[in-house]
Amino acid sequence: LIAKMPTLVAMAYKYTMGQPYIYPQNDLSYSGNFMRMMFATPCAPYTVNPVLERALDRIFILHADHEQ
């Protein structure tokens, strides 16, 4: 369930914003893929900021460790 959550959240977010869904890329990390699916647009290349990616990764780890 944890693995599918970013895809479902990004799909719902893109739908509410009226934007097309961005498919995940296998070469990105869990956090990087989530950021790309949330904030990328189909007509422009998107590069993930490594500082933000690492921060989001740590937030996900803390959240999973505390079972909230």
Residue 66's DSSP bridge partners are: none
Closest-CA residue to 38 (of 53, 50, 27): 53
The pLDDT tens digits for 3-48 are 888 899 999 999 999 999 999 999 999 999 999 999 999 899 999 9
d(CA 52, CA 57): 8
Element (H, E) at 49: none
Identify any residues that bridge with 44 across adjacent strands, giving them in sequence order.
41
Instruction: Say what the pLDDT of residue 36 is.
Output: 95
Domain ranges for the chain: 5-65
